[in-house]
Amino acid sequence: MRIPEKGLSREEIVRTLEAYKAQDLPWQSGRVMAYVYDPGKEALDTAKQAYMMYLSESALDPTTFPSVMRLEKEVVRMVIDLLRGDDQVVGNMTSGGTESILLAMKTARDHARVTRPGIKAPEMILARTAHPAFHKACAYFDIKPVVVDFDPESFRADVEAMRRAITENTIVIVGSAPGYAQGVVDPIPEIAALAQEHGLWCHVDACVGGIHLSFMRKLGYDVPPFDWTVPGVTSMSADMHKYGYAPKNASIVMYREKALRRHQIFSCLQTTTYALINPTILSTKSGAPMAGSWATLACLGEEGYFKIVREVQDATARLVEGVNAIPGLRVLGKPDMCMFSFTSEEINLFQLAEEAKRRGWYVQPQFSTPISPYNLHITMNQSSLSCVEAFLADLRAAVEAVRASDTQIDIEAVRAQLNALLEADPAGARDQILALGGVSGTDLPDSMVMINCVLECLPDHVAEDLLAEYMNELFA
Ligand SMILES: Cc1ncc(COP(=O)(O)O)c(C=O)c1O
């Protein structure tokens, strides 16, 4: 499309956008079991109104828009309180979990530059269950990721492996509360104690779980310790746009005390332009996410979150039990909140995801590691509350359909085929691999089955390269 010579009418624009949107998954149906966090109609409408009130106000300059700073400070303080931080704990709103993690890791690195100037090649210790955003931080800020294993039964980080991985270059250790994939909280007190013992920074990634787990704790559920009451935790991330149920883009990065956060803040006076001073990565940024988050917290109140958390936890328990009751499926680990994954030794799970999609459901494929099987992930949220039984019935039918199909894809055969291709021509196998995955041109693929089979089998670095190239083509 080109910029139209003459502007379109508002009606035309809305009609066109509605037509575009028809291609997306209908998330409000409750049938999209990932990516979605629905606060319910009243809170969503309120948040939208607040969001629109601040769409054009910029958080770049608090002297011009002091109310945006006020909203940010109030949201951050409400979340710090929820996570049981004292008044020394400080934080900022960011554009999402990734930005919060990037900032915390940059801050840890810059803090180490001052406090441990001898370190020239800083290292981060993290479990394989930690979010890819930490690897992105390593790539962006020149930190070496030192990945350790997790317990393959519980999916909790292996703290002894973390201890063994510490070197004189280690600056930071990471724990997740919980890790996204299996919804399991790491042993945060042990990880933080290890960090303290060695004078290291400890980051708790509570992006997906911080808010939900805190309300679970207040309701009396058995929640593993993960928040500011754990000694040795240096920084933390918690997302408003996930189980805080606020509109995107909204997350919070926090530090044990203000002196640590100083390394996060960037200022520049070396140019012809205005005095630039940014607490976070973005410079110009809309006040809308601050207002949207503030309105969501204010509208739901503790009572609203309690109701959501209780109902979502009940539904999750029914889901976990129901999935385990389907012959051939098995839930991995023991999820601490409302997200989990399941695997199968009997049927091809990528085909199962496709069968579920045919029945109107989205479940999210996740890949194997050397010590854990590939699986399908479910993030439970409020919009799926009334769908549990229908989903389980369709999942059972989908399992039977894959079992009955005479075209079940044998992942090991795909692996053998790929290995042969890579061995014959490591540099030139790209097109054949893409063809095997059923990828052609720059359109989004119709079916993800073969692509996922290929990604499951390729060595990580080959798959990463291929995905980056594909993405590059996709946005052409
Ligand atoms: C545990 C965890 N950390 C970090 C992130 C990254 O958050 P975002 O997608 O908002 O950047 C996610 C996203 O799902 C997550 O689950």
Q: How far apart are CA 194 and CA 163, in angstroms?
A: 7
Contact residues for 186 (Cβ-Cβ < 8 A; gap 6+): 127, 129, 156, 157, 175, 176, 177, 178, 179, 226
Tokens representing residue 400 in the block: 């039977």
Residue to substitute in 35, 98, 126 for testing ligand 1 pocket (most ligand atoms within 8 angstroms of CB)? 98
pTM of the model: 0.97
Give me the sign of the Cα torsion angle 113, 115, 136, 75: negative
Going from the Cα of 420 to the center of ligand 1, the distance in angstroms, rounded, reads 36
- The torsion defined by the Cα of 308, 309, 311 and 314, in degrees rounded to 10, comes to 170
Which atom of ligand 1 lies at the shortest distance from residue 249's CA? 10
pLDDT of residue 426: 82
Strands 251-255 and 90-94, bridge-based pairing:
antiparallel
Strand partners, 157: 150
Q: How far apart are CA 458 and CA 460, in angstroms?
A: 6
pLDDT of residue 243: 98
Contact residues for 399 (Cβ-Cβ < 8 A; gap 6+): 326, 327, 328, 329, 344, 347, 352, 355
Residue whose tokens read 């400080």: 90
Going from the Cα of 332 to the center of ligand 1, the distance in angstroms, rounded, reads 20
Tokens representing residue 51 in the block: 């969001």
Cβ(208) – ligand 1 distance below 6 Å: yes
pLDDT in tens, 150-203: 999 999 999 999 999 999 999 999 999 999 999 999 999 999 999 999 999 999
Tokens representing residue 131 in the block: 């979010």
pLDDT of residue 475: 85
Going from the Cα of 339 to the center of ligand 1, the distance in angstroms, rounded, reads 13
Tokens representing residue 204 in the block: 């708790």
Residue whose tokens read 């209780």: 310
Cβ(57) – ligand 1 distance below 6 Å: no
Contact residues for 467 (Cβ-Cβ < 8 A; gap 6+): 455
Going from the Cα of 425 to the center of ligand 1, the distance in angstroms, rounded, reads 37
> For the chain, which ranges sit under pLDDT 70?
none
Strand partners, 124: 145, 172
pLDDT of residue 27: 87
pLDDT of residue 474: 86
How far is residue 157 from each of residues 18, 33, 261, measured CA to CA in Å? 44, 25, 27
pLDDT in tens, 329-374: 999 999 999 999 999 999 999 999 999 999 999 999 999 999 999 9
Going from the Cα of 134 to the center of ligand 1, the distance in angstroms, rounded, reads 10
Which atom of ligand 1 lies at the shortest distance from residue 97's CA? 7
- Can you list the domains of the chain with their CATH numbers? 50-295 (3.40.640.10), 411-474 (no CATH)
Angle between helix axes 411-424 and 449-457 (nearest 10 degrees) is: 60
How far is residue 380 from each of residues 44, 85, 264, 303, 361, measured CA to CA in Å? 18, 27, 34, 20, 13
Going from the Cα of 214 to the center of ligand 1, the distance in angstroms, rounded, reads 17
